[in-house]
Amino acid sequence: MDPNDISRLNRRFGIAGEVVFREGPNGQGVVEISNARAMAAIALQGAHLMNWAPHREEPVVWLSPKAKFGPGKAIRGGVPVCWPWFGPHAGEASFPAHGFARTQPWEVIDVQALEDGSNRLGFRLIRSEETYALWPHSTPLELYMIIGAALEMELVTHNDGPAPVILGEALHAYFQVSDIGRIAIQGFDGCPYIDRMDHGRRKQQKGPVIFDRETDRIYLESTADCVIVDPGLQRRIRIAKRGSRSTVVWNPWAAKAEALGDFERDGYLGMVCVESANAADDRVTIAPGGTHRLWVRYTVEPWD
C-alpha cells in the first residue's frame, strides 16, 4: 500500500476546512493547512515545510519561485531536514550533502485539531535499502509540527541499535526578509563561530550579524534565542530552540545564488537561513535505547 496515496490520506487524516492532501508539483504529495491561526504547506517528500504565514502577516518562511520538485530533488527554501549529517559527509564525498532525509518519502502518522485553532501533524521517515547503505543504523526518525500563530517543529531521533550513534542535523529554515542588506540578527554577540567563507577559521561574533557579502557561519555554543530584526517588514522573527547547540547562518549572495540555479535573479536579497543545528563540534551522541529531540519555535513579534 502506498503510504502517500492522496485519497487514503484525506480519508484517514484530512480535516474539513483545515487540512487537505493533494497532488502537488510533478505529482508530489502535499498537505495544505489553513486554520484559524495560519496557513502552511508541507511536501510529503522530506516532510518539507514549504511555507508558513500567520494570518495578517507576510509569509515568514521563504520558498524560491524557481524551486525544483521531483523524486530525489532537494527543494530550495522552506525548512529542509538535514539528517543524519550536516554538510558534506565526513568520509564519503559521493554521499549526498546534508544527508538523505530531505529527499526521501515520509509517511503521515498523526494529524490533530488543537483547541486553540492550530493543527499538529506528525511524520515518519521511510527507510529503504538505499538509505541503509548510506546510514546502516536503526535510528527511526520522526518530525512533529504545530501550525498556528507560532510554528513549532520537533525532530525526534531514536536509537534502536546496540551501539551509540553520532549524528549531525539541522532544521535548515529559510526566512523571508525585506532586504538582506537592511536586516540584523541579534543573539550571537560573543559566540564563537566557524567562518566557512574564510577557510573554516574560528572567530568570535561582536554585536549583531549583518550582511554585505556571502555569509556561511556555524555559531557554536548558541543555545539562546536569536531574533531576525527586519525594519523593512517592520517585524522581528524570534527563534527559540532546545536540543540544539549550534546555529548556521547563511546567505549565498549574488554569484553563488546564480550558480545554484534555483534562485530567481536577486532572489538572495529576500531570504536568510537561520538553521537550528547540531553540527561541527556539536554533533549529538545517542546511546542505545536513547532518544534525541531537536525542538524549535518560530514567532513573529510586532514592531515597536
Q: Which residues are catalytic?
A: 172, 275
What is the torsion angle, in degrees rounded to the nearest 10, for the CA atoms of residue 36, residue 177, residue 105 and residue 35? 0
- Partners of 275 in beta bridges: 248
How far apart (Å, rounded) are the C-alpha atoms in residues 243 and 222? 11
Question: From the DSSP assignment, how many helices (H) and strands (E) are in the chain?
Answer: 3, 22
* b/e sequence 160-189, b meaning 16+ C-beta within 10 Å: eeeeebebbbbbbbbbbbbebeebebebbe
d(CA 293, CA 195): 27
- The Cα–Cα gap between 113 and 76 comes to 29
Cβ atoms of 225 and 239 closer than 8 Å: yes
Helical spans, DSSP H, in the chain: 6-13, 129-134, 253-260
Please state the separation of Cα 170 from the chain's center in Å: 7
- Measured in residues, the chain has a length of 304
**CA–CA gap between residue 214 and residue 253 (Å, rounded):** 5
3-state secondary structure (DSSP) of residue 71: coil
| Dihedral-angle region of residue 27 (phi above 0 means left; psi in -120 to 50 means alpha; beta otherwise) | left
Single-letter residue type at 38 = A
